[in-house]
Structure 1
Amino acid sequence: MSWKNDIRVVISIDFGTTYSGFAYSNKINPEIITNDTWPEQIGQLKTNTVLQYDKNFKNVEEWGYPALAKKPRRNKGKSKNQPVPKPVEHFKLHLGSMPDNDKPLLPKGLNHKKAITDYLKSMDTINTRWPNIKFMDQALIILTVPAEFTDQAKAILRDCIYNAELIKTKTSEKLQFSTEPEAAAVHCMKVLKEHLLDIVGTNFLIVDCGGGTVDLTTRQLLSNERLGEKTIRTGGFCGGIYVDRGFLAFIGEKVGPSVMQILQESHYGQLQYMVQEFCKKVKLLFTGYREDYKTFDMDLDEVCPVVKQYVTGSKLDKLEEDEWIVELKFEDVKKMFDPVIKKILKLIRDQLNRGGSISAMFLVGGFSESKYLQKRIREEFSDEVRNISVPPQPMAAIVRGALEYGLNMQKIKSRTLPLTYGIELAPLWKEGDPPERKQTHGRIFVFRRLVSKGIEVDVDQEFGLELHPSFQNQIEISIEVYATTAIEAKFCDEPGMKKIGELRLDFPDPHLGFHRKITFTLTFGQMEIRAYARNQLGQSTNANFELEL
């Protein structure tokens, strides 16, 4: 019996850089419920992706919103010699392909895999919802990931889900992945109907503006409410937190970079309280229209009183003269947004150049609620895309769409491959091959392409080869699998090429010697690469694909 027949509950998890959430549904009565109860929060569709550890960074003391920002208490706070432990956040960025020096620093003794595992384990209030469910046997988990995540990043997340005890085995098929824009696209299929765009062949662009990343994909509506992917998924690190970083840089100009360093290291709760006040009272309200904006006075003595202990020199004189009030003028706030929005506009432009005619563009994710971002996108693209809209509750679009996908996984028909995949083979060296590549055993190592970058493949489409034993009594075979950013490649050491894993196959019936063959196939249309193998009688044989981590 298929594992799908065992499923009674579907859970979707949107594990984000700054905010995370989950939704769930019983398969028999598929009402989508988005969780809105969190530590010290009720009514919010997500909570902060933050952990507060003990001093040894072994045990989680608080998670979510209460782990992040603390309202300052005058005369009761720590002195400058008694720093408050810093919470851990933005650790998801360690899975991305950004330069290491741009990734957030983690405390000594803590790595991002443990942080991710601990956070997912903290979210395990999921388990308490269904006391009669054998959770790891009867629940399907859909975990969303950014469009640009590599196969290795997904493998790390699978390990973390397993270590958080949400699945029984590391290779369990009861954990499935969906990209964030793909999940949003499933959710936005309903919005197409509202705009009378639910016509087979309609292309629409999803722009998922999250906290850390912005992800894009162009989808096509197919018959029977299924979706095809028309372009390679793209994304970048230009989410809402980069506006927050612009705000902190602005404050740093007022108090000095050394003071900001002290706040980061020793008084992070107050620093984040100041950021949250900026978000609530400035960032979320900023429309980009000068007439809408009223200069905001931020009272540092109220939102971050500890700063007064550290400011010196001319900056102290100026702040004391201004009674610790910092003015955020229209141009100041605009400068915090503009570099981030410029990157988002470029990502959209690149997608439009690739995707052909687009009937609609949907903005989802928490940062898409920014009126200024919406304004800039409409100014730039309204002549090309008539319908640019933000669906209701855009912050929950991904987690709800992922759940809809989990309830009916046939909704996704195809995906477009971001890389070219293939294997390393060792045929006999022949005249015309590079002489320097000839091996001592008279063979040459070459890259054998299985499927090319940019190809649209069905989720169950198979790519593979027929294999024969290299020696008579061979009982297993090992194949190295590679991926490259190039469309064509000859060798596995070319620029842009990377080994992503190893495929191991059993070669049964050694008594048949060379009179044996095995057909192995890899599927790439799923969010994870999966391996299958059949012998010459059509019987399945063991195939194990292990990713490089």
Structure 2
Amino acid sequence: MPSQDIRVVVAIDFGTTYSGFAYAHVVKPETIINDVWPRHIGQIKTNTVLQYDDKFQNVESWGFAALAKKPKRKEKNSSTKPVELFKLHLGDMPQSEKPYLPPNLDYLKAITDFFEAMETVTTRWPGLDFMTQVLFVLSVPAEFSEESKRIMRNCVYNANLISRRYSSRLQFTTEPEAAALYCMEVISENFDEFIEKTFLIVDCGGGTVDLTTRKLLSKSELGEVTVRSGDFCGGNYVDQEFINFLKTKVGTSAIDLLKENLYGQYQYLVHEFCKNVKFPFTGNIEEFETYELDIEQICPAMIQYITGPERDTMKDMEWIIEIDFEDVKNMFDKVIARIIGLIRGQLYGDKSCSTIFLVGGFSESKYLQRRIKQEFQGVKHISVPRQPIAAVMRGAVKYGINRGHIKNRVLKYNYGMNGLRTCEARDPANKMRLSGLVLYFKILAKKGTVMGLNETFSESCMPENSDQATMRFQILISKDDDVKYCEEESVKKLGEFVVELPNTHLEKPKQVDFELCFAEMEIKAYARNKYNNTEYNITCDLEF
């Protein structure tokens, strides 16, 4: 439960395409979804978009109000500068695949500016000190690293939502975990049917798709069954396939120049495609009408960039591009194939799963729903809950009010520490130290372990040399099941601390007990010097 001074829990869903927030008063935990935005009332979320001044210093508008408007033919390069998709710069993807940002705008500033704009609508309760009485819960994609969470915490702090950088008033949960808590509410009327049974949550957002398989342990507790999975294959990637299609019609250089010089028109082009083609597409050819994209009306500035044979062709077509059923189906299928692959991976890990919940904005796609139901006919129930776009927000509020709902989690990494052992024949010669020992990755908790909250893993250690005055302990993680040494590329360091070994002249053994404790969304490491009972500790963000 939140501390006694917390009166309101606010859950922020900072999405790639759309963002929103929900809140509840702790004493009366009824979740309320915000639907009041600047120049946009009645919608659960607003667009994750910013519009800056010419120097990209000050935000002139944000959300729906910052969307590019229908362009003029002779629009100047500096007239509109809407910025979007900046959340994807947090993800672990090649730099070449990250979305466009203006050269003089850093993604950290964009994220901070968006949180600062959100602050104007998330802290408006009269008589409430949001610096001390509001708990913020921020949901993050399953594949986000500890570094990504640290960056987001810094951005929230810089946006003045919290008064201290490492304030406990900001908590993290993963998007699939929050969605699972919402689905727990969905099945509350049929708890007895689901007790001790598993269900799969597929959270289909704009940028990412996150999956988690959960078991309902009781009416108030959820357990995790398999390692969470996710990938960058959300609804925005259908938009990218549309752009790839356009490149075959007008040429790659025309699209690239439009994007570089007139991003507002480029953005408007994509939004028109979404409104008229992507959102209504059901996959049923009888319900589809060929869409005529009129470049002169929708994106007139692009005409100046079309050259060569593509220009001659477009002139003959009177600057109209026809998009037929198979064109749109191909745009979807490339993305949906990756989502289906992720679902197969989860079901392979839990063959007893009888229910799939589809949540997130992209889950509202009738074609996506249809394809998943066709591919997984052996699953008893495939359901889209009410307001799937709000599932993460609702679940995150529930998490903030009572984090005890989460009984256990499955580790996504191998957790370990720096250890010393006797050199073996299989060790490379350069690994042996002067002491004759080898520094290696000592696994304490293996990937795939079902880990209860506050569960601990311990190890007793001795110093390398008898006259050693200190011992350095490192908390390490790796996805590699065959990891051997601390210096391997797959190994990441979460934190470290130094234990002092006083009285080095004494011959009494200097044993140090080391312990990892998995607590909520963080990991705590402890060490105790057995000689003098001195304790040391460190807290790190937990990698899920």
Flag whether TM exceeds 0.5 (same fold).
Answer: yes
What is aligned with 2:75? 78
What is aligned with 1:394? 388
Q: Judging changes above 3 Å, is the alpha-carbon distance between structure 1 residues 123 and 219 closer, same or farther for their aligned structure 2 residues?
A: same
- Where do residues 79-98 of structure 1 align in structure 2 (5 Å cutoff)? 79=76, 82-84=77-79, 86-98=81-93
Q: Shift of the alpha carbon at 1:164? A: 2.1
**Which range moved further: 427-436 or 305-314?**
427-436
Structure 1, residues 483-517: CA drift from partner, whole Å, max 9, x if none? 1113353321345x322222225659879976776
Q: Is the 8 A contact 1:213 1:238 kept in 2?
A: yes
What is aligned with 1:60? 59
Distance 1:241 1:500 in 2: 33
2:272 to 277, 281, 296: 277
Q: Shift of the alpha carbon at 1:400? A: 0.9
Q: Is the 8 A contact 1:501 1:545 kept in 2?
A: no
Q: Shift of the alpha carbon at 1:444? A: 2.2
Q: Judging changes above 3 Å, is the alpha-carbon distance between structure 1 residues 430 and 439 closer, same or farther for their aligned structure 2 residues?
A: same
Structure 1, residues 413-458: CA drift from partner, whole Å, max 9, x if none? 1111111010112356578865432212443212111100000101
Give the counterpart letter for 1:522 in structure 2.
L
What is aligned with 1:499? 492
1:114 aligns with 2:109: yes
Distance 2:43 2:293 in 1: 26
1:288 to 268, 283, 288: 283
1:222 to 217, 225, 240: 217
What is aligned with 1:7? 6
Structure 1, residues 147-182: CA drift from partner, whole Å, max 9, x if none? 111222222222222222222333322222111111
1:251 to 246, 260, 274: 246
Distance 1:393 1:455 in 2: 33
**Which range moved further: 119-128 or 270-279?**
119-128
Q: Judging changes above 3 Å, is the alpha-carbon distance between structure 1 residues 471 and 224 closer, same or farther for their aligned structure 2 residues?
A: farther
Q: Is the 8 A contact 2:420 2:464 kept in 1?
A: no
Structure 1, residues 16-60: CA drift from partner, whole Å, max 9, x if none? 111111111111121211111222211111122222233333332
Q: Shift of the alpha carbon at 1:232? A: 0.4
What fraction of aligned residue pairs are identical, expressed as a percent?
A: 48
- Where do residues 49-198 of structure 1 align in structure 2 (5 Å cutoff)? 49-73=48-72, 77-79=74-76, 82-84=77-79, 86-194=81-189, 198=193
Q: Shift of the alpha carbon at 1:63? A: 2.0
1:377 aligns with 2:399: no
Q: Shift of the alpha carbon at 1:411? A: 0.8
What is aligned with 1:207? 202
Distance 2:223 2:101 in 1: 39
Q: Shift of the alpha carbon at 1:322? A: 3.5
What is aligned with 1:479? 473
Q: Shift of the alpha carbon at 1:219? A: 0.4
Q: Shift of the alpha carbon at 1:343? A: 0.7
Structure 1, residues 285-314: CA drift from partner, whole Å, max 9, x if none? 111011111112222222222223333454
What is aligned with 1:348? 343
Q: Shift of the alpha carbon at 1:530? A: 3.0
TM-score by length of 1: 0.90
Structure 1, residues 119-163: CA drift from partner, whole Å, max 9, x if none? 212211245322433323222211111111122222222222222
Q: Is the 8 A contact 1:177 1:528 kept in 2?
A: no
Q: Is the 8 A contact 1:229 1:456 kept in 2?
A: yes
**Which range moved further: 64-73 or 193-202?**
193-202
Give the counterpart letter for 1:52 in structure 2.
Q
For 2:12, what is the secondary structure of its paired residue?
strand
Q: Shift of the alpha carbon at 1:462? A: 1.9
**Which range moved further: 176-185 or 485-494?**
485-494
Distance 2:303 2:55 in 1: 29
Q: Judging changes above 3 Å, is the alpha-carbon distance between structure 1 residues 505 and 438 closer, same or farther for their aligned structure 2 residues?
A: closer
Distance 1:548 1:234 in 2: 16
**Which range moved further: 463-472 or 254-263?**
463-472
Distance 2:127 2:505 in 1: 51
Q: Shift of the alpha carbon at 1:7? A: 1.6
Q: List alignment gaps of at least 5 residues for structure 2.
A: none
Distance 1:432 1:379 in 2: 50
Q: Is the 8 A contact 1:507 1:518 kept in 2?
A: no
TM-score by length of 2: 0.91
Distance 1:373 1:536 in 2: 59
For 1:247, what is the secondary structure of its paired residue?
helix
Structure 1, residues 263-285: CA drift from partner, whole Å, max 9, x if none? 10122212222211211121111
Q: Judging changes above 3 Å, is the alpha-carbon distance between structure 1 residues 204 and 546 closer, same or farther for their aligned structure 2 residues?
A: closer
Distance 1:424 1:503 in 2: 10
What is aligned with 2:28? 29
Structure 1, residues 162-214: CA drift from partner, whole Å, max 9, x if none? 22222233332222211111111110112224566643211000011111111
**Which range moved further: 19-28 or 226-235?**
19-28
Distance 1:324 1:439 in 2: 71
Structure 1, residues 381-422: CA drift from partner, whole Å, max 9, x if none? 02x211001001111111111111111111111111111010
Q: Shift of the alpha carbon at 1:363? A: 0.4
For 2:451, what is the secondary structure of its paired residue?
strand
Give the counterpart letter for 1:279 in structure 2.
C
What is aligned with 1:322? 317
Q: Judging changes above 3 Å, is the alpha-carbon distance between structure 1 residues 127 and 337 closer, same or farther for their aligned structure 2 residues?
A: closer
Q: Is the 8 A contact 2:86 2:107 kept in 1?
A: yes
Distance 2:469 2:83 in 1: 48
Distance 1:68 1:535 in 2: 59
Give the counterpart letter for 1:493 in structure 2.
E
Distance 1:165 1:111 in 2: 19
Give the counterpart letter for 2:212 in structure 1.
T
Q: Shift of the alpha carbon at 1:349? A: 0.7
Distance 1:415 1:548 in 2: 11
Distance 2:44 2:542 in 1: 35
For 2:480, what is the secondary structure of its paired residue?
coil
Give the counterpart letter for 2:282 in structure 1.
T
Distance 1:471 1:131 in 2: 62
Distance 1:546 1:475 in 2: 25
Aligned residues: 542
Q: List alignment gaps of at least 5 residues for structure 1.
A: none
Distance 1:215 1:360 in 2: 16
Q: Is the 8 A contact 1:217 1:231 kept in 2?
A: yes
Distance 2:358 2:221 in 1: 20
1:20 aligns with 2:15: no
Q: Judging changes above 3 Å, is the alpha-carbon distance between structure 1 residues 3 and 336 closer, same or farther for their aligned structure 2 residues?
A: closer
**Which range moved further: 309-318 or 210-219?**
309-318
Q: Is the 8 A contact 1:505 1:544 kept in 2?
A: no
Give the counterpart letter for 2:391 in structure 1.
A
For 1:30, what is the secondary structure of its paired residue?
strand
Q: Judging changes above 3 Å, is the alpha-carbon distance between structure 1 residues 40 and 198 closer, same or farther for their aligned structure 2 residues?
A: farther
**Which range moved further: 40-49 or 507-516?**
507-516
Q: Is the 8 A contact 1:474 1:510 kept in 2?
A: no
Q: Is the 8 A contact 2:21 2:122 kept in 1?
A: no
For 1:544, what is the secondary structure of its paired residue?
strand
Structure 1, residues 68-118: CA drift from partner, whole Å, max 9, x if none? 3222245xx524xx4445433222222222222211243334333222222
